[in-house]
Amino acid sequence: MSIDQAYAEVDRITRREARNFAYGIMVLPRPKRRAIAAIYAFARRVDDIADGALPDDEKRERLEQLHADLDQPGSDPVLVALADARSRYPVPAEALHVLIDGGLQDTQQKRYATFEELHGYCRKVAGAVGVACIAVRRRRESSSTSATSTGSIASASVGARVQSSREHEFPHVSGAARASEPSARREGQYRRVRPSAERAGSRRQRRQPFAEPGSAGRERKAARDVRVSVVGGGLAGLAAALDLVDAGADVTVHEARPTLGGAVQTLPERDDDPKPPPDNGQHIALGCFTEYLRFLDRIGQSGSVRRMKLELPVLDERRRWATIRRSPLALLRYGHVSFGERLAILRALAGWNETVHAETFGGELRARGQSAHAVECFWDVFVRPALNLPAGEASAEAGLFTVQTALLGEAADADLVLPVRPLGEMHGEAAGRALEAAGASVETGARIDDLAALGAEAIVLAVPPVESARLLGDSEPGLEHSPIVSVHLLFDRPILRRPLAALLNSPAHWVFNRGLLTGHLAEAKGEYLTVVSSGAPELEALRGRELVELIAVALTERLGEAELLWSRVSREPNATIAVKSGSDAYRPGPQTDRPNVVRAGAWTATRWPPTMEGAVRSGRAAARALTKAPAGVPA
């Protein structure tokens, strides 16, 4: 099922079940309107199950299944639309899980003895829906508000699903509870209905290893009692570890390298390196990387990035500059394609949808009226670094998602987010400090060969696909990899004079002014640059000196003559998986065949390309999945 078909279905549900509400949200921009409709349709489903005619045991089984289905939507249109909305807006997963808990509470309790009890129930239903909708409505505001926090969350609901007084006996305004029968009124006792609560609770406790944050309504073992090992200290493992330690788990991170951070590293410093030492590539985030930015905030590094509006200077072989910006007028001025090609680009963007017409994104663009020249000189400029593949090799689905999410969402989604400190400091080192401050243990230089030897009650396996398969005893997934090559150069004079630039038809795809971005002036007023070439195996195969000469000449021919004073090369042959057509079939979700063992990594099924955002999302999804895994120490 396509995303557009899923959204069409939730729109039909909203108009059928809540006509006035459907009219009310029509004033929202289309992306927000669709996201709100997805949230409504999901809340409607929870409500229909909880208040339907099924036996209570079957209701509880279906509601518990919804917890797992949130991270694995399959082909269900409501869940597919909701998953897409969550990928575009910072809808807290906790709010959706708490909403399901409210439905579970409906099957166990019909009357409330005090106003406080009723208020707690309302926060789970009306409040949870409100928190989810606010995350969409107020895109730029903090989305960390918990559906279980104190305050007037219950009043924030848009289309809240509080039940009518015919279904629940509410207390009077004074807060005095309504007695269930005359004898109870005389004795000051109130009826509390919990059919089979103990039996249902004990069954859930056997299946659930520990409590998810904010899930006090579910009877589970406390998180603080669980020993969790996180194998892999990249962004996915670090994100999972932070969520778990924040929930109270006893967490140990095991990383085979001497430093945390995984694929986001600063190279070991050498005596002749300029300041700061080079990173293993120039990693760029976008404004739509909401989970990654939240991760930076959690580890105290939100000030280590520079955020700027989308502005991509592009230089062609004739040394002519043109800039890609988000506005239609700016696109009409983009001089590296003909005026007719610019109009075709605008028509394609205006009618953008996620219907797939071809296997590759290049083929998809051709089907949407784009010339081969426009694909090379416009679309590939930003799609190639985003997917680490040229449009002609990347899957159509990955390209469509990238354009829709980054270019056609909120204006701020397209912002460039550039690091201003060494990657190792602002990721691995900062996350290690945050984990230890929260009570977790971190072990580096610790290669794990046997999961059973960890002695953990639960495990997050956040390692590359081949290593994951080895530790799980699975066959290797049929995933290819795509390399990234970075060349770091110090010239004797300034030649770029801007933060970054793309070079058309050049082995140097992108060049970044590292000295300018990090606030370090190079010696003798020179210039410290980093060149990044994505998805170029022909460059990865070159020897170091040959590669440096090729890139240095490519720069000086375009930017001006300068003498090369220093250079260093970093290669990541397996930098990302290759998101080619059909690759999604080999990207598993967090669940594994082993009890209490979940997987994470940018290569897993996150609906995102293998980016820093995808890595963080996968780690958080693994932490959530672990709270619903069957009990038992893995063998």
pLDDT in tens, 294-322: 999 999 999 999 999 999 999 999 999 99
Residues 619, 623, 624, 629: what is their CA dihedral angle, to the nearest 10 degrees? Answer: 130
The model's confidence at residue 209, banded by pLDDT at 50, 70 and 90, is low
Residue of higher predicted confidence among 609 and 109: 609
Beta bridge partners of 500: 512
Residue 4: pLDDT band with limits 50, 70, 90? confident
Give residue 93's pLDDT. 86
In this prediction, residues 422-447 reach a mean pLDDT of 96
Order the strands of the 321-324 sheet from edge to edge.
321-324, 312-315, 500-503, 510-513, 527-534, 481-491, 564-577
pLDDT value of residue 158: 31
If you average pLDDT over every residue of the chain, what do you get? 84
Q: How confident is the model at residue 521 (pLDDT cuts 50, 70, 90)?
A: low
Select from 528, 487, 497, 525 the least CA-distant residue to 275: 528
Q: List the single range of 64-78, 244-258, 334-348 with lowest mean pLDDT.
A: 64-78
For residues 425 and 182, the model is more confident at 425
DSSP letter for 452, please: G
Among residues 324, 482, 477, the alpha carbon closest in space to that of 393 is found at 482
Average the pLDDT over each of 133-147, 486-500, 543-557 and give the range with the smallest value. 133-147
Determine the Cα–Cα distance for residues 418 and 427; give it in Å rounded to an integer: 13
Hey, what amino acid is at 14? T
- Domains of the chain, each with CATH number or no CATH: 3-187 (1.10.600.10), 223-262+422-478+586-626 (3.50.50.60), 324-414 (1.10.405), 481-577 (3.90.660.10)
622: confidence class by pLDDT, cuts 50, 70, 90? very high
Q: What is the pLDDT of residues 576-608, one digit of tens each?
A: 999 999 999 999 999 999 999 999 999 999 999
Q: Which pLDDT does position 590 carry in this prediction?
A: 95
pLDDT digits (tens, 9 = 90+) for 73-85: 888 899 999 998 9
Q: Give the strand order in the sheet containing 441-444.
A: 441-444, 250-255, 227-231, 458-461, 597-599
Give the bridge partners for 527, in sequence order: 491
Output phi, psi for 515, to 5 deg. Answer: -60, -45
Residue corresponding to tokens 């005026």:
339
pTM over 0.75: no
Confidence of residue 187 (pLDDT cuts 50, 70, 90): very low
Q: How confident is the model at residue 193 (pLDDT cuts 50, 70, 90)?
A: very low
Q: Which is higher by pLDDT, 136 or 224?
A: 136
What is the predicted pLDDT for the residue at 223?
Answer: 53
Residues paired with residue 441 on neighbouring β-strands, in sequence order? 252
Give 459's contacts (C-beta < 8 A, 6+ positions apart).
Answer: 228, 229, 230, 231, 451, 596, 597, 598, 634
- Determine the distance from the C-alpha atom of residue 63 to the mean position of all C-alpha atoms in its chain, rounded to a whole number: 25
Contact assessment for residue 62 and residue 38, using Cβ atoms and an 8 Å cutoff: no
Confidence of residue 160 (pLDDT cuts 50, 70, 90): very low
